[in-house]
Amino acid sequence: MSSDFSKAESREPSQDRASWLTVVTVSLMFHAALMGLYLAAFHGDWSAFVCVDKERLGTPPFEHIGVGFPLKGFDGQSYYAIARDPWRFQSAEVMHAPCYWHSRLLYPVLAWSLSAGGQPAILIVVLPLINLACIGVLTWLGCRLALHFQRSAWWGLLLAVSLNPGMAALRDLTDPLSTMACVGLLVAFLLNDSPIWIVFWGAAAVFSREQNLVLLALLACRHVLDRRPGAAACCVLAGLPWFIWVLFLHWGYGAWPFVGENLAWPLQGMLFRWSNLAHPGGRVAGMVHAAGMSLLTLEVVLAIMMLSLRAGFVAGGLALFGAFLVVFGGESIYFNGWSYNRVFVFLPMGIGVWAMQTNRAWPLYLTGGAAMWPILAVAQAWLR
């Protein structure tokens, strides 16, 4: 694979490049409008973002939640429960595999600190607003990367929407924060920012989602190959506090924060979804799944194609690891469009970085099709 550092920055910038401030404003307005429409579908009840199992309404810690969801709710309820008090061990009666969710500490801790110590009335508003703010910062980081490679700032918006943070923001998930931290880490690496930023973004990434350790390891390997041991040590330093936290959780829960049902034999999950497009949900759901699986399959093909096009070590490595997760994803991930359309973020992230480095706009237009997912999610809320 070729170098990760493009010489594009030596060219003169185009005169019609959009201001990053304009792009970030457009991104925030778009996602705020989607979140507002979603909120309106639940008559302005902010607790709808938590997505609590309707059978648990009125029971601690969900006694202040007014909107319930079928099929056991969604993952946001676990982050809400932890954010009520992130410094105590959680009950397995409240959430499945509490050690797993508790390892993703940053999102609930931020919400706890901004809600006067987990006050429910404030917390239900703070959680989605944190995600909206993360989308704004994510877009700014994308603009910064695009401008560094002498591309239009609008490429930064394409990168941001291709990572689909808007869908996760509708269910109080940690994905927008995790994605923002990963892109921040990539920007710090590719733009040769201070090592302090590597530590900052790296720690934020792993405390948001454990799989982000792969990105830290990838950057550490790149630094070792470049004979920069100090920079590689910064990557190790960024991940060290999380490992200490995991050991503490293991002591308290008697378990490790990992679940195995998300992985399966190669193509098992993909074949399940391709052969059951209309299940569950019928013909309309089948068309949505067909679109989602088509986009995902094309991204896997593109990731493989990047090998022959000598993609950079980091961009190519990210895309290939993302493709690995897609191919080895289990049926539990592909059963629900809310999962496979948002969790494989490394795949479009690697493709997007490669597109900017090589001045190829079409991969970003392809992956930017993910903008349809939060729109469809809002429509689903209105048609429920």
Show me where the domains of the chain are located. 17-383
67 phi and psi angles, rounded to 5 deg:
-120, 125
pLDDT at res. 16:
46
- Residue 319's nearest CA partner among 345, 288, 285, 283 is 345
Sequence-ordered strand ranges (E) for the chain: 52-53, 68-69
Q: Contact at 8 Å (CB) between 278 and 285?
A: yes
Contact residues for 119 (Cβ-Cβ < 8 A; gap 6+): none
Residue 359 identity (one-letter amino acid): N
Residues in the chain, total? 384
User: From the first residue on, what is the mean pLDDT of each consecutive set of 10 residues in the chain (384 residues)?
Assistant: 50 56 97 98 97 93 94 92 96 91 98 97 98 98 95 95 97 97 97 94 97 96 92 95 97 88 90 90 88 96 91 93 95 90 95 96 95 95 90
pLDDT at res. 15:
38
Is this prediction's pTM over 0.85?
Answer: yes
Structure tokens at 246: 């995991």
Question: Prior bond to 108 cis, omega within 30?
Answer: no
β-strands 52-53, 68-69 pairing: parallel
Structure tokens at 130: 């944190």
Q: How far apart are CA 74 and CA 49, in angstroms?
A: 10
pLDDT at res. 17:
59
Strand partners, 2: 312
pLDDT at res. 282:
81
Measured from the Cβ of residue 87, the count of other Cβ atoms closer than 10 Å reads 9
